[in-house]
Structure 1
Amino acid sequence: MTTLPVVIPPQVLRPVVYRALTKKYGLAIKLDGLQELAKYIGSSYGAQWKDEINPFLDTFAAQWRNDTCRGIFVDGVHVRQVLAELLEEVIVQSRSQDGILENHQDLPVEDVWQCINTIQQRRVPYNHWKKQFDSPANTSPPALKQDMFSTRYYITRDRSLRNAASLGAPFEFTEIKNFMGKDSQNFVVLGLLIMNNKGKWALEDPSGSIEIDISQCVPTPLSYYMPGCIVIAEGIYFTVGQTFHVTSMTHPPGEKRVDSQLALGNLDLVRATHLDKQRLIVLHEKEIELDENEIILLGGESMFLDQQNVHDALRKLFAKLEELPPYAIICFGSFFSKPVIPTSSNAIPSTTLYRKGFESLAVILEEFPELVSSTKFVFVPGNNDPWKSMSTLGMDGVLPMAPLPSLVTHKLERVLKQDIVWATNPCRIMYYSQEIFLVRDDLQQRLKVHDVSFPAIASSKDPHSGEEEGQYIDQLVKNPDQLPRELEQARKLVKTVLDQGHISPFVESIRPVDWEQDHTLMLFPAPTTLILCDTTAPKLNLTYNGCKAINPGSLIVNRKLKYSRYFPSTRNCIEEEVLF
C-alpha cells in the first residue's frame, strides 16, 4: 500500500510527544526537536501516523537513553542523530535476514532495471495549500489544461521559498492581484513570462497577469529567457499605464534531488509510491559494487537504418562490443533519413522501407550472440519516426511521443527476445537507486530562436554605442577566466532546463504538450542523470545541482561513429569513436 507523506504541524504533535516522552520517560522536548520529529513522522507514516506514533516514540526514547551524554533536553541536532542511528539498525537487520539482498540477482526486476514510459506514469496532483502531493486521482482533460501552469507555478514557488529559507533570508512573492493601487512601489514577483494579446511582454500568475516593461531590465546571465518560462522579476509598479517596470530578472533557483525528496517526504513521483530509505541505501551499495556495468549511448539524427554506411558503422561497433558486452544500449532516433509519410505514387512505401531498416538491424545483431544475450536495448523515437511523422512531416510535434509501432518491431523482437524496450520520448529508466531521464529533442536551437532580447543588454554589446575603438577591441580579447564557448552554451542549456523543472518550458504555440501527460515532462525532483540527445547543442558531460547531464550528440560524423559510455556506479561518461 502506498504511503503518501503529510505535513504535521508541530503544535499538533506536541501533546502526543509530551505524553510519550515527557510523562513516560522524563524527556523535555525543544521546539527544534519537535519540528524534526514532526517532519520525520509525517514523511514516514503519512496520514496513519496516529496509529504508529506510540511504538515509534518508545523506540526513539530507548535509543535516546542509550547515550547518557544526551541529557534530558531533546533538541534538533540530537533528534537527527538518533534517527540516523535507528536507520542504521534497520539496515543491519535487513542485511542479516536470510541474505535476501546479498545477491543483486535476488532483487525484484523493477529495482534493478525498469524503463517507465510516459503512459505508465500516474499523475499525482499537487496541493499548494498543504505544500505536498495528494493521492493520485482522475481529472478531466479540461481541468488538466488549467492545472498545467498552476502545478508548475506552485511547485516552483515552494521550491524557491525553501531555497530562500535555507539561506537565512526568507521572503514572500507578491501576487499580481495585489499590485492594484500601489503606485511607485517595489515588488518581487514569480510569474510566467508570456506575450499578451497586445504584443507586449507580460507576467502571469494564478491571481492574474500584468504588462511589463523590460527596457531597463538586466537579467541574470547564463540562462535562456523564453515565452513559457517561470521567472523571478523585481521592479517598480506604476499605476499610470498599469505597467510593471522590471529592473532585474532571474530563473528560480535549482534544488538538489535529495533536498526535493526530503521536502516531499521521500515520495517517488514516477511510480507514485513512498521511497523506502533503507532499501534505497542497499540498492545504492549494490549499484556501486557493479562498477563494470556500462550503458552505451548512440546519438540521434544520423542513425538512419535506411543507409548502408550506418549498417557498416553499427556492425563495426557491435563487433567491438561483442568482446565485453555492455549492460544496455540506448538508441536515439530518428531511425529514418526522411519523415515516414503516406505516399500515393508507385514508389515503395516509406513504411516498407522503414520496416526493412529494422529487419536489417536484426540481421546484423544475429552475428553477435554474446551481445544479444547479455545486453538490453532501448529505442527512443525521433521526429521522422512513425506515427507522429505522418502529421508533423518531420517537424517538432506534441510531446511526449509514442513508442515505435509494432509494424516494424517483430523481427527485432524475435532476435532480442525480452531484452528490448520500445520507449516513449521522453521516458525514464530506474536503475537500482538512480533515475535516468531520456529525451530526444533539439532543445538548444529552440531556446536560441525564442530567447528574449533585452534592450539594456543589447545596447551594452553594441560596438557603435559611443565607446572608443580601443576599448571595443579590448572586449574582443578573451579573458583567461572565460569558459570555452561550447562549455558555456552547454551549462546555459542545462541550467535553464533544470531550474525550470520541466523538459519543455515553452508556451504551447512554440512546443505543444499533451495535457494529460504534462506531468511526465517534469524534472522535479531532478533526475539522477539527464540524458538529452540534442544534435543542435554541443556535447554535454557536466553536473549541475547533483544532476549528471549528458548529450551524446550525433552518431556519425564523416567516417566516424561516435558514442558515449556511461558508468552508473561512478556516474562517469567517456566519449569514444569507431572508424569505418
Structure 2
Amino acid sequence: MITAQQTHRLTPIANLLGRSGSPHLLLGLLTISPTGTLALSDLTGSISLDLTHAQMAEPDATWFVPGMIVLVDGIYEDEDLTTGSVLGGGGGIGGTVGGKFIGTMVGTPIAEKRHITLGTVGEGEGGDITTGGGFGWVDFLGVGSERERGQSMRDLESRIFSPPPPPPLFDSQSQPETQPAAAAAPVPNRGHIAILGDLNLDNPHTVTALAKVLSVYSLLPLESLPMTFILLGNFISQPSLALSATGPVEYKEYFDILAATLSNFPVLLSNCTFVFVPGDHDAWNSSFSAGAAGPLPYDPVPSIFTTRVHKAFVTANSEAKKDAGANAPPRVDGEAIWTSNPARLCLFGPTHEMVLFRDDISSRFRRHAIRTASAPVPEGPELDIDAETQEDPSIHAARKLTQTLLDQGHLSPFRLTDRPVLWDYAGALQLYPLPSALVVCDAEANAFVEKYEGCCVMNPGRLTGGGKRNMASWVEYDIKERTARVREVGY
C-alpha cells in the first residue's frame, strides 16, 4: 500500500512466526474464531486479533464487520501458548499462528474506479481507450467488452441524448444565419429512470402515493417520459405465504390492486419499462423464512401472482397501436420485467451498468459491527464546542454505507452464517468493476444520493412514511449526467 509519505509492505500471516515484537501490515479476512474471539485469515494462515486499542484509518468512515477484507497495522506478540483457537486446523503455516496480533490501525482497501478497471480514460476526457492495462477485453455481463463495443456505444449514447443542432435562420436576403443560443429551447429526452422503494401494496397510503407519482409523469410530453420505472419491494408489509392472513390468494389480490392502479396510466404502460425487484417479504423467499433474510439472490415474484399486471401492459400496448393507426412507424412496446434481487441493468452495452439491490443492510451493519477505540478528541484553544461542525447524521450514515459497500466490492460483506448466499450465484453480488450506478433500497434509512469513486449510489427509501406526513419520495436518475436527485410530492 502506497501513501503520500511512505510505502508499506504486506506481510503474510505465516511469516509472523519468529518475529515477535516487530510491526507489520496485514491484509486478510476478518473472522470469528471457534472460541468467539476476533481473528484475521489469509491464504497462509490465521491469527488471533486484538483491536482493543486500534484506531480507524478514517475515523467513523466505514463499518467493520466479520466477513470483510481489512488492512490491519500493528505488532505481533508471540506466546508460548496460542491465545487463538486451533479448533479445526493445526498450528503453524496453513493453520492458526500462535500468539496474537495487536492492531494499532485498521482500515479497508480503497475501491478502484471503473475506468481504471476497464482501461479507459476517466470522465471528462471523452472516454477514449487507453493503451494501459485493465480488463478492457473482459466481457463481464455478456453484452460485449469495453474495448470491443465501448466506444461505439458511447457514440450512440451521445447521439441519442445530445440535442440536435438548431435550424438556421434566414434574413430578408435569404442568407442563412446562426440561431442565437438563447432562442434554442431545451430539447426533452427520455434519459431518466424513476426509482421507487418499499412499495407495500397492502397499505392504502402507498397505493395512493404510487398513483400520485405516476400522475406526475403522465402529465409530461411523450418525449420526456422516463425510460424506466424501477419498483422495489417489499410488495407487502407482512411476510407473504408464511401467515394465515397472507396466503397465496391474498398475495395475488394485492398485485391485482397494483394492476388496477397502473391501468389508469396507459401512456406510461405503453411507452416505459417497469422493473419489479422483490424483497424479504415476497414469494417465494418468505414462504420458508417468514420474512427473515434468506439466501441471496432471490428469485423473481412468480408469474402466477402477476397475471393481471401483465394483462394491463398487453391492453395498454394494443390500445396504443390502435390509436397510432396502421401506417404508424414501428414502436417499442412497454413491458413489465420481474427480476431477481439483486439485479443489473445494462445501458448501451458495457458503458453503463446499474445494480439494483433491496435489503435493509444498514441495520445489519449496526448489529454485527465491531467496536474499536474512539478517535482522539483534539485539544487546544481553537476547540469550539458551540461551533456547528457536526455533520447531519443521515448524511453521515449514507456516506458510511456507500464507502463500506464500494470499498469491499460486494453487496453482502458478511459471514455466510450472518447472511447466507447461494454459492452458485455468488458472482451476482460482486461489485467489480464498480458499476456506474448502485441502487441500495434500505427502508430503514432515509433517501439519499451519494457519489463515491465515480459511482452514483442511491437509496430511494420508503415511498411513504419517510418522516413527512402525506409526502411521497423517490429518486430520479439521469442516465446522461450519471447523477440523481431525491424528489418529493404530496398526496
| Structure 1: stretches of 5+ with no match in the other structure | 1-160, 462-466
Counterpart check, 1:535 vs 2:461: no
Give yes or no for contact 2:229–2:274 (8 Å, CA) kept in 1. Answer: yes
Deviation at 1:271, TM superposition (A): 2.2
Report the RMSD for the aligned CA atoms in angstroms: 2.5
CA contact (8 A) 2:274 2:335 kept: yes
Q: In the alignment, what sits opposite 1:236?
A: 75
Q: Distance in 1 between matches of 2:209 and 2:154?
A: 40
Pair 1:257-2:114 in alignment: yes
How many angstroms does 1:475 deviate by?
Answer: 7.9
Answering whether residue 482 of structure 2 is matched by residue 571 of structure 1, we say yes
Match 2:62 to one of 217, 223, 231: 223
After TM superposition, list the pairs within 5 Å mapping 1:36-75 onto structure 2: none
Q: Which amino acid aligns with 1:436?
A: M
Partner of 2:142: 271
Residues 464-483 of structure 1 correspond to what in structure 2 (within 5 A)?
Answer: 477=385, 479-483=387-391
Equivalent position SS for 1:356: helix
**Residue 416 of structure 1 is aligned with which of 292, 295, 313?**
313
Superposed CA deviations along residues 527-573 of structure 1, whole A, max 9, x for unmatched, are: 00011111222322111000011111110123222122211111232
- What does residue 497 of structure 1 align with? 405
Aligned to 1:289: 162
Aligned to 1:313: 209
Distance 1:351 1:204 in 2: 45
Q: CA 1:508–1:578 in 2, change beyond 3 Å: closer, same or farther?
A: same
Q: CA deviation at 1:364?
A: 2.1
Q: 1:443 aligns with which of 358, 361, 364?
A: 361
Aligned equivalents of 2:238, 2:6: Cα separation in 1? 54
Retained in 1: the 8 A contact 2:346–2:352?
yes
Question: 1 or 2, which has the higher helix percentage?
Answer: 1
Partner of 2:226: 326
CA–CA distance in structure 2, aligned partners of residues 286 and 410 of structure 1:
37
Q: Distance in 2 between matches of 1:541 and 1:354?
A: 32
Q: How does 1:23-172 map to 2 (within 5 A)?
A: 164=2, 172=9
Distance across 2 between alignment mates of 1:382 and 1:191: 32
2:341 to 414, 419, 425: 425
Q: TM-score, normalised by structure 2?
A: 0.76
Deviation of 1:478 after TM superposition, in Å, equals 5.5
Matched residue type, 2:282: D
- CA 1:540 to 1:174, structure 2 compared with 1: closer, same or farther past 3 Å? same
Cα distance between partner residues in 1 of 2:10 and 2:427: 24
Partner of 2:331: none
| 1:431 positional shift | 1.4
Deviation track 1:355-385 (CA, whole Å, cap 9, x = no partner) reads 1111122122222221111111000001110
Q: Where do 1:456-467 residues align within 5 Å?
A: 456-457=373-374
Percent sequence identity over aligned pairs: 32
Q: Do the aligned residues in 2 keep the contact of 1:306 with 1:353 (CA within 8 Å)? A: no
Alignment of 1:191 with 2:28, yes or no, is yes
Match of 2:285 among 388, 394, 399: 388
Query: How big is the shift at 1:481?
Result: 4.2
Question: Match for residue 19 of structure 1?
Answer: none
Residues 286/451 of structure 1: CA separation in 2 closer, same or farther (3 Å cut): farther
Query: What is the CA deviation profile of residues 18-60 of structure 1, one whole-angstrom value per residue up to 9, with x for unaligned ones?
Result: xxxxxxxxxxxxxxxxxxxxxxxxxxxxxxxxxxxxxxxxxxx
The aligned residue for residue 28 of structure 1 is: none
Could you say if the C-alpha distance between residues 273 and 571 of structure 1 is closer, same or farther in structure 2, counting changes exceeding 3 Å?
closer
**2:447, 2:486 within 8 Å by CA — same for their partners in 1?**
no
Task: Report if aligned partners of 2:242, 2:288 keep a CA contact under 8 Å in 1.
Answer: no
Matched, 1:526 2:434: yes
Query: Are 2:80 and 1:246 aligned?
Result: no
SS at match of 1:413: helix
Tell whether 2:196 aligns with 1:359: no
* C-alpha distance in 1 between matches for 2:28 and 2:374: 22
**Structure 2 CA distance for aligned equivalents of residues 545 and 189 of structure 1:** 24
Q: Deviations 1:185-235 (Å, cap 9, x if unpaired)? A: 221111011110122111001111111111221122211111111001111
Q: How far did 1:319 drift?
A: 2.2
CA distance in structure 1 between the aligned counterparts of 2:311 and 2:483, rounded to whole angstroms: 33
With over 3 angstroms needed to count, the CA separation of the structure-2 counterparts of 1:408 and 1:555, relative to structure 1, is: same
Q: Is the 8 A contact 1:232 1:250 kept in 2?
A: yes
Q: Do 1:489 and 1:538's aligned partners in 2 also have CA atoms closer than 8 Å?
A: no
Alpha-carbon distance between aligned partners in 2 of 1:317 and 1:273, rounded to the nearest angstrom? 36
CA offsets per residue over residues 466-491 of structure 1, 9 Å max, x none?
x9xxx89x989364444222211111
2:151 maps to a residue whose letter is Q
Contact 1:498/1:523 (<8 A) preserved: yes
User: One-letter code of the match for 2:139?
Assistant: D
SS at match of 1:395: coil
Any conservation in 2 of the 1:287–1:568 contact (CA below 8 Å)? no
Q: Which moved further from structure 2: 382-391 or 556-565?
A: 556-565
Aligned to 2:463: 555
Contact 1:288 1:570 in 2 (8 A): no
* Unaligned stretches of 5+ residues in structure 2: 83-98, 120-133, 164-188, 315-333
Offset of residue 292 of structure 1? 3.9
* Alpha-carbon distance between aligned partners in 2 of 1:476 and 1:405, rounded to the nearest angstrom: 58
Q: C-alpha distance in 2, partners of 1:405/1:498?
A: 31
Specify whether residues 168 and 273 from structure 1 end up closer, same or farther in structure 2 by C-alpha distance, changes over 3 A only: farther
For the residues of structure 2 that align with 1:298 and 1:181, how far apart are their CA atoms? 57
In the superposition, relative to structure 1, how do residues 443 and 235 fare at CA in structure 2: closer, same or farther (>3 Å)?
same
| TM superposition shift of 1:342 | 4.8
Residue by residue over 1:144-198, the C-alpha shift from the partner in whole angstroms, topping out at 9 and shown as x without a partner, is xxxxxxxxxxxxxxxxx6xx49x79665421111111222222111101111012
CA distance in 1, matches of 2:404, 2:287: 31
Q: Structure 2: how far apart are the matches of 1:342 and 1:378?
A: 25
Distance across 1 between alignment mates of 2:232 and 2:291: 15
Could you tell me whether the CA contact under 8 Å between 1:428 and 1:435 is conserved in 2? Answer: yes
